[in-house]
A and B are shown apart, each in its own frame.
Chain A
Amino acid sequence: MAPANVYLDHAATTPVDPRVLAAMLPYFSETYGNPSSVHAYGQRAEAALESAREQVSRVLGCRPAEVIFTASGSESDNLALRGAAFAERERRGADTILVSAVEHPAVLKTARQLQQQFGFRLVVLPVDACGLVSPADLAEHLSPQVAVVSILYANNEIGTIHPIAMLAAQCRDLGVVFHTDAVQAASQLPVDVGELGVDLLAMGAHKFYGPKGVGALYVRNGIGLLPWLTGGGQEQGRRPGTHNVPLAVGLAEALALTAAERQSRNAHQQRLRDRIISAVEQTVDGARLTGHPSERLPNHASFVFPDVDGNALLAALDARGFACSSGSACKSGTPEPSETLLALGLPRRLALGSLRVTVGKDTDPQAVERFLDILPPVVAALRRPAAGGK
């Protein structure tokens, strides 16, 4: 059999924490009622759901009624952007959407659809070489015509962290709705919405040791959202559909554990991250860190290597027992550079050779050392001869 595998792709997803699983299990077959039902079955399920909501609200520093459960981080992003764009256009005629050039497709493609199919104006704010939108660029494009601004908290591909509080304040001054995609950030960074000053904030449980298939959206009290699923009155009619109680419980438990253990998890992860970054920069020829050198997720190391096919690199590392990721992951073998890496101004030749290494709370430092031993020879073996040579 293949060697024992080492998982270094925690930005893609994380295992469900056993404590989270234990919290969820009673809500599949024991307390299985529909929270909307009048009877005792329903009441017990509703109690579990509402206590999950409260648990989430405590971490976010908001009211429980400001938390909406969804089925994924993507859905939270969709609801936030599409919901706010339509609501703001209806309320005050604002028709412009501002997003950063390095948003996850859950935001970027939603924004493009709003532009192409629904007549919104879209401005994609450029980023600097570290992946940051400049406050000056934001200021330049902010106006009462703007319906919603979406800038992600922490980037999934390059780990860069935006100074959300500052950017959100700029929007608040003009009364423009501000959404942040915190799907990556929520696993490691504080998500106190009061301190961040955001109107909308999206997350998904599977990035922080919760189950897949459940997300949450913070919606500041008073922010209008046009629902894009229509049905029953669940989640104040903003997200109809019978509640998935066990998953909501799982998200809440996972988020609470994440908040409680944040410091120790981050200390562990950051040590490993810093070790990876310094080792790779020293031992792999031409390696370049992507994203911000310091303002980055504590678990996130990402690189580009010139003249290496990033997909082949991932496959080679996997064959040797190390699961990593890249900006251009593609199982069919026809690589396209990621939009995010191109937005940083990286040339194709570099952008095609990307590698993302994201450690987790339980990553074994010795496994990281084994990874660091194997990476340089694997990169060297896969390096293409300079173009034109044979």
Chain B
Amino acid sequence: MTSRRRIAVAMSGGVDSSVAAALLRDAGEDAFGLMLRLSGEDAGPANRCCAPADVAAARQVAGQLDFPFYVVDAREAFEQSVISPFLSGYAQGLTPNPCIECNRSIRWGVLLEHALAFGATHLATGHYARVEHLDGGHILRTGLDARKDQSYVLHVLTQSHLAHAIFPLGELTKEQVRAHARDPRLPVADRHESQDLCFVDGDYRAFLAARGVAPNPGPILGLEGEHLGQHSGLAHYTLGQRQGLGIASRQALYVVEKDRARNALIVGRREQVGRQRFDLAHVNWIAGAPPAPTFEAHAQVRYHAVRLRARVECRADARAAVELEATQPDVAPGQSAVFFAGDICLGGGIIQP
């Protein structure tokens, strides 16, 4: 056996992972494609992710690039680790981000395990992020193109994940990837760019209803407890949301809080929205430990949110307390807050109610 690296490429049939695969192939790497089957064909509402058409597209790309391609059944793990926690979080009125858990337990769990079992030394994905392998450890950096950066969803990775990680798109801009995507070996156009909630095809509420998460209507209350209207279920609203409340009011009202104990949606004026301090649980530090017990960094509280300065105080049991430089309107329990020092992603955790 040689000590050459062998790369499993996570393929989805979409442009990003196809371009990633083509780049590796053209660099002369020893690569093969892997795709996870995450949902059944006919169980419940159609799944946009890994539909048979996507499998066919990915298989075709692999064929064009002349490397082996395999589909692995991960439906059970996906249901257990991603969909059901998502549904139960939703039922509690939280706004969970299933992509985070999917990255942790599916892509960098099941998929990486399979890649290694298949004899790969590395796993490449089409994420816009960079990884630097140093003697002292592995560093996750933001993608060079800030508009496409996806390091946020990768903050759950550990040193042992990163040791195997390759992100061929991390150094590229969106335009460069588009140019590569015109490669005749690749699919003509992105049928759907990877988005959050790959497992929901179209109608969110129909999906929830089909999965037995019945909407649970309740009152909309002002900050003083005054009854202002009726909400259709806490999970349908996000903090800071203004539109779609169905309240006639002279001044603009925003979702300030979800009172899950009373199943009430609390609304208020713009300046009353948001949080500056919050706690995190399930914190992961990519380096294995935080930079210091208490430190300052830039925090991102949502996928694609702007980063704000923050002070982070680490606690026992993978918890932390965060204070932002200013109140943020959309600090949503269930979402993740992720910390950066310059372009280095330090890690993050789940925002607590």
Interface 1/0s, chain A 278-322, versus B by CB < 8 A? 000000000000000000000000000000010110011011100
How far is it, in angstroms, between the C-alpha of A334 and the C-alpha of B117 when the chains are bound?
19
A166 touches B (CB below 8 Å): no
Residues of A within 8 Å of B55, CB to CB, are: 332-333
Question: In the bound complex, do residue B40 and residue A316 qualify as a contact, i.e. CB atoms below 8 Å apart?
Answer: no
How far is it, in angstroms, between the C-alpha of A332 and the C-alpha of B71 when the chains are bound?
6
Question: Given that A2-B30, A332-B71 are contacting pairs, would A320 and B118 also be in contact in the complex, using a CB cutoff of 8 Å?
Answer: yes
Question: In the bound complex, do residue A319 and residue B73 qualify as a contact, i.e. CB atoms below 8 Å apart?
Answer: no
B245 to chain A, nearest CB (A): 39
Question: In the bound complex, do residue B52 and residue A318 qualify as a contact, i.e. CB atoms below 8 Å apart?
Answer: no
A372 to chain B, nearest CB (A): 16
Question: In the bound complex, do residue B117 and residue A309 qualify as a contact, i.e. CB atoms below 8 Å apart?
Answer: no
* Interface-central residue, A333, A335, A381, by most chain B CB under 10 Å: A333
Residues of B within 8 Å of A316, CB to CB, are: 114, 117-119
Interface 1/0s, chain A 141-174, versus B by CB < 8 A? 0000000000000000000000000000000000
Question: Given that A315-B118, A316-B117, A320-B118 are contacting pairs, would A334 and B30 also be in contact in the complex, using a CB cutoff of 8 Å?
Answer: no
Residues of B within 8 Å of A335, CB to CB, are: 73
Residues of A within 8 Å of B8, CB to CB, are: 319
B339 to chain A, nearest CB (A): 27
Question: In the bound complex, do residue B72 and residue A318 qualify as a contact, i.e. CB atoms below 8 Å apart?
Answer: no
Question: In the bound complex, do residue A332 and residue B52 qualify as a contact, i.e. CB atoms below 8 Å apart?
Answer: yes
- Complex interface residues of chain B between 15 and 61 (CB less than 8 A to chain A): 30, 32, 35-37, 40-41, 52, 55, 59
- Specify which of A319, A334, A382 is in contact with B68 (CB 8 Å cutoff): A319
- Complex interface residues of chain B between 63 and 122 (CB less than 8 A to chain A): 67-68, 70-73, 75, 80-81, 113-114, 116-120
Question: In the bound complex, do residue A333 and residue B72 qualify as a contact, i.e. CB atoms below 8 Å apart?
Answer: yes
- Complex interface residues of chain A between 350 and 390 (CB less than 8 A to chain B): 378, 381-382, 390
Question: In the bound complex, do residue B41 and residue A334 qualify as a contact, i.e. CB atoms below 8 Å apart?
Answer: yes
A136 touches B (CB below 8 Å): no
How far is it, in angstroms, between the C-alpha of A7 and the C-alpha of B134 when the chains are bound?
40
Question: In the bound complex, do residue B70 and residue A318 qualify as a contact, i.e. CB atoms below 8 Å apart?
Answer: yes
Interface 1/0s, chain A 1-17, versus B by CB < 8 A? 11000000000000000
* Interface-central residue, B80, B113, B117, by most chain A CB under 10 Å: B117
B219 to chain A, nearest CB (A): 38
Question: In the bound complex, do residue B52 and residue A315 qualify as a contact, i.e. CB atoms below 8 Å apart?
Answer: no
Question: In the bound complex, do residue A311 and residue B117 qualify as a contact, i.e. CB atoms below 8 Å apart?
Answer: no
How far is it, in angstroms, between the C-alpha of A158 and the C-alpha of B202 when the chains are bound?
45
A121 to chain B, nearest CB (A): 32
Residues of B within 8 Å of A39, CB to CB, are: none
Count, A-B residue pairs, CB within 8 A:
61
* Chain B residue total in the interface (Cβ 8 A): 27
Residues of A within 8 Å of B72, CB to CB, are: 309, 311-312, 315, 333
How far is it, in angstroms, between the C-alpha of A2 and the C-alpha of B36 when the chains are bound?
21
Q: Name A320's closest neighbour in chain B (CB-CB).
A: B119
How far is it, in angstroms, between the C-alpha of A390 and the C-alpha of B81 when the chains are bound?
9
- Complex interface residues of chain A between 326 and 358 (CB less than 8 A to chain B): 331-335
A323 to chain B, nearest CB (A): 11
How far is it, in angstroms, between the C-alpha of A1 and the C-alpha of B30 when the chains are bound?
5
* Interface-central residue, B41, B114, B120, by most chain A CB under 10 Å: B114
- Specify which of A1, A311, A319, A332 is in contact with B118 (CB 8 Å cutoff): A319
A2 to chain B, nearest CB (A): 7
Question: Given that A315-B118, A316-B117 are contacting pairs, would A331 and B30 also be in contact in the complex, using a CB cutoff of 8 Å?
Answer: no
How far is it, in angstroms, between the C-alpha of A318 and the C-alpha of B70 when the chains are bound?
9
Residues of A within 8 Å of B80, CB to CB, are: 390
Question: In the bound complex, do residue A2 and residue B68 qualify as a contact, i.e. CB atoms below 8 Å apart?
Answer: yes
How far is it, in angstroms, between the C-alpha of A103 and the C-alpha of B114 when the chains are bound?
33
How far is it, in angstroms, between the C-alpha of A331 and the C-alpha of B62 when the chains are bound?
14
Residues of A within 8 Å of B118, CB to CB, are: 315-316, 319-320
* Interface-central residue, B8, B70, B80, B81, by most chain A CB under 10 Å: B70
A320 to chain B, nearest CB (A): 4
How far is it, in angstroms, between the C-alpha of A231 and the C-alpha of B325 when the chains are bound?
86
Question: In the bound complex, do residue B73 and residue A381 qualify as a contact, i.e. CB atoms below 8 Å apart?
Answer: no
- Specify which of B41, B52, B114 is in contact with A382 (CB 8 Å cutoff): B114
A48 to chain B, nearest CB (A): 38
How far is it, in angstroms, between the C-alpha of A312 and the C-alpha of B32 when the chains are bound?
14
Question: Given that A333-B35, A334-B41 are contacting pairs, would A312 and B30 also be in contact in the complex, using a CB cutoff of 8 Å?
Answer: no
Residues of A within 8 Å of B113, CB to CB, are: 381
Residues of B within 8 Å of A1, CB to CB, are: 30
Question: In the bound complex, do residue B70 and residue A334 qualify as a contact, i.e. CB atoms below 8 Å apart?
Answer: no
How far is it, in angstroms, between the C-alpha of A382 and the C-alpha of B119 when the chains are bound?
12
How far is it, in angstroms, between the C-alpha of A333 and the C-alpha of B68 when the chains are bound?
15
- Specify which of B67, B68, B73, B116 is in contact with A312 (CB 8 Å cutoff): B73
Q: Name A374's closest neighbour in chain B (CB-CB).
A: B119
Q: Name B39's closest neighbour in chain A (CB-CB).
A: A334
Residues of A within 8 Å of B30, CB to CB, are: 1-2
Residues of B within 8 Å of A311, CB to CB, are: 71-73
Q: Can you list 13 pairs linking A and B with CB atoms under 8 Å apart?
A: A309-B73, A315-B70, A315-B71, A315-B118, A319-B118, A333-B37, A333-B55, A333-B71, A333-B73, A334-B40, A335-B73, A378-B117, A381-B113
Nearest 5 CB-CB pairings of A with B: A333-B71, A381-B117, A315-B70, A319-B118, A333-B37
Residues of A whose CB lies within 8 Å of any CB of B are: 1-2, 309, 311-312, 315-316, 318-320, 331-335, 378, 381-382, 390
Residues of B whose CB lies within 8 Å of any CB of A are: 8, 30, 32, 35-37, 40-41, 52, 55, 59, 67-68, 70-73, 75, 80-81, 113-114, 116-120
13 further A-B contacts with Cβ under 8 Å, apart from A316-B114, A320-B119, are: A309-B72, A315-B118, A316-B119, A319-B120, A332-B37, A332-B55, A332-B71, A333-B72, A334-B37, A334-B40, A334-B41, A378-B117, A390-B80
